[in-house]
Amino acid sequence: MSAPESAPAPGPAPDREPGPRVVPRQDARLHGAITLAVVVISIATVRPVGLSGRGLAVAALLAVNSIALMARHLPEARFPPRVALLWLTVGVVAAAALLGVSGSGSSYLFAYFLVGHIGYRLPLGQALALAALSSLLCGAVLYFRLGPGHELVPWTLGVSTGLPVVAGILSRSRQRAVEAMIASAESAERAARAEARTAVLTERSRIARDVHDVLAHSLAGINMQLELADALIDTGDLEKVREANGKAHSMVRESLKQAQWTVHALREDSLPLLESLTAMIESSGHRDALTVTGTVRELPARVTQNLLRIAQEALTNAGRHAPGAKLGVELTFAAASSTLVIHNGPATREAAAGVGSGLGLIGMRERVALLGGTITAGPVVEGPEQGGWQVEAVIPG
């Protein structure tokens, strides 16, 4: 008897699936049937009812009370707070007045059900004030026997009309708690979807970097060899043409191996860091170039994968921009971090024509940033490798 039977369902939130939010409420049909029963019982039992005098007053107050009680089924949005307060106050006064002018019947039912709805609908202070008003007015009507036929009715019945406000307040608190839980669940669902979208975008960026590492480097090298072979055809030096063509074929085979390695890495299988790094260095034409310091330990698959990709990028750049240069790779295992350093001296022969995509260093920085590490890359300005290039990546953990 205390809760509204319907309320407008809010529109879908931006991150929700289409469709209204479903908030469990009390059965609208049941409460509608109860309201109808109260109205019918009151019309059937409250007397006198007529077209003049006290009968007309009873009939008018019956109509006012019935309208006030049925209005609780209208959506809350239809009534601003002040209008709701005025309507329910008029309803309480009308219920007390009906109790005073009627000679018999169940007129007090209107007060009970209206006060119950007041507890649900209005803020706590206003609800308690109107409940006290109902108890005061109805109790006074019966105590002072202001209407006929109340000799056998105790005045405490009038005072008790304020008690249903407690049921209304509890019902409202329960409903608000349900809505809060639903809102919290929806918020968590939106956060989970946002996190999933972020993970998808991050994975796309990772795949894009891997594809760049394999395709951009390999195709750039193959293209340079084919351009060189094309230029040598005009010179008639078939031996050099065959050499350039053979290098292009070799690069194709190496690219296939790298593509297989990339697919393996994308499946997030655990890769052996030292074995993979050694094989990568040897495939670039350098032997005994790896130096390992510290206590070797197994790193997370994600760290291993990104360290190998950084090494691949640095080795490719060294081969492209400093052909024939001496190259060194240092892998250091510290207590709180792992460091990969790749350095090369100046080129000993002319670099082949061609320009890289410019995304290599960006890709390395992105990889290190995802792992919370740091990376530095720049020319070597002193020492035996002066004029060369060095890349240093420090990964925590």
E-strand spans in the chain?
Answer: 290-294, 327-333, 337-344, 374-379, 389-396
Residue 4 has pLDDT above 60, yes or no: no
CATH 3.30.565.10 residue ranges of the chain are 271-397
The DSSP secondary-structure symbol of 212 reads: I
Question: ∠295-296-298 over CA atoms, to 5°?
Answer: 135
Kindly report the backbone phi and psi dihedral angles of residue 391, in degrees, each rounded to the nearest multiple of 5, phi listed first: -125, 130
Distance CA 164, CA 111 (A): 9
pLDDT-derived band at 288, boundaries 50, 70, 90:
confident
CB atoms within 10 A of CB 179: 15
| Average pLDDT score over residue span 312-331 | 86
| Average pLDDT score over residue span 90-111 | 91
Lowest mean pLDDT among 132-141, 188-197, 255-264: 255-264
Lowest mean pLDDT among 131-140, 258-267, 365-374: 258-267
Distance CA 255, CA 213 (A): 10
Question: Which helix H or strand E contains 361, and what residues bound it?
Answer: helix 360-370
Residue 79 has pLDDT above 90, yes or no: no
The secondary structure of 298-359 as a DSSP string is PPPHHHHHHHHHHHHHHHHHHHHHSTT--EEEEEEE-SSEEEEEEEE---SSPPPS----S-
The number of angstroms, rounded, from the C-alpha of 26 to the middle of its chain's C-alpha atoms is: 30
**pLDDT reported for residue 261:** 60
Give domain 271-397's CATH number out of 3.30.465.10, 1.10.10.10, 3.30.565.10, 1.10.1040.10. 3.30.565.10
Distance CA 327, CA 321 (A): 12
- Per the model's pLDDT, the better-predicted residue between 176 and 264 turns out to be 176
Q: pTM of the entire structure?
A: 0.51
The DSSP secondary-structure symbol of 19 reads: S
Token pair of 126, please? 């206003």
**pLDDT reported for residue 148:** 67
- Per the model's pLDDT, the better-predicted residue between 333 and 144 turns out to be 333
